């Protein structure tokens, strides 16, 4: 199953400037592949770094987490939840991501129980791994407002 940015926004609560996934190209019950097209127009390049733009590593991780959250929150039991990081393990950054790169992120569900779980994420540019690691998460149901 493929999802465009409009469908992604129906699933995720993230919005500009913090929606960091442009498309889901494959969505299964335990694996998802998403894309972030990195352009020079990204807000973070103004200060990271002037004259030598590099996508911050934490935003690469956030992109992977959003891809994973799209998979999780597409499941009936987790619809309407808010996704939170709980841990990051074994994270490695292999090479910088720069304007013009297409970040392709494959995220696999390792485990989930009662909305708490772990994902394994691998981000690639042109088939080369640029970042990888395990992402711990918690999916919290929104409280009804009075």
Confidence of residue 1 (pLDDT cuts 50, 70, 90): confident
What are the pLDDT digits (tens) for 5-33? 999 999 999 999 999 999 999 999 999 99
14 in catalytic set: no
**The architecture CATH gives domain 5-141:** Roll (3.10)
What are the pLDDT digits (tens) for 84-128? 999 999 999 999 999 999 999 999 999 999 999 999 999 999 999
Q: What is the DSSP string of 28-59?
A: -SSEEEEEEE--TT-GGGGTS-TTS----HHH
Containing H/E element for 109? strand 102-113
Q: Is the pLDDT of residue 144 over 90?
A: no
What are the pLDDT digits (tens) for 61-80? 999 999 999 999 999 999 98
Q: Mean of the pLDDT values across residues 42-65?
A: 96
Instruction: Judge contact between 111 and 87, C-beta under 8 A.
Output: no
Q: Mean of the pLDDT values across residues 56-65?
A: 98
Place of tokens 């791994």: 129
Determine which one of 48, 108, 116, 118 is catalytic.
Answer: 48
Q: What is the pTM of this model?
A: 0.95
Q: Considering all CA atoms of the chain, what is the largest pairwise distance in Å, rounded to the nearest integer?
A: 49
Q: What are phi and psi of 43, to 5 degrees?
A: -60, -35
Show the tokens assigned to 118.
């772990």
The whole-angstrom separation of Cα 100 and Cα 26 is 22
């Amino acid at each position: 199953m493929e999802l465009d940015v409009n469908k992604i926004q129906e699933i995720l609560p993230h919005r500009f400037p913090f929606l960091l996934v442009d498309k889901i190209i494959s969505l299964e019950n335990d694996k998802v592949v998403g894309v972030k097209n990195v352009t020079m127009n990204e807000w973070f390049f103004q200060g990271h770094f002037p004259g030598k733009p590099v996508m911050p590593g934490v935003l690469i991780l956030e992109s992977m987490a959003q891809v994973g959250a799209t998979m999780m929150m597409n499941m009936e039991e987790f619809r309407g939840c808010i996704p939170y990081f709980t841990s990051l393990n074994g994270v490695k950054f292999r090479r910088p991501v720069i304007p013009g790169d297409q970040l392709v992120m494959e995220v696999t569900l390792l485990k989930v129980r009662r909305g708490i779980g772990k994902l394994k994420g691998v981000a690639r540019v042109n088939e080369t791994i640029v970042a990888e690691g395990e992402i711990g998460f918690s999916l919290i149901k929104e409280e009804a407002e009075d």
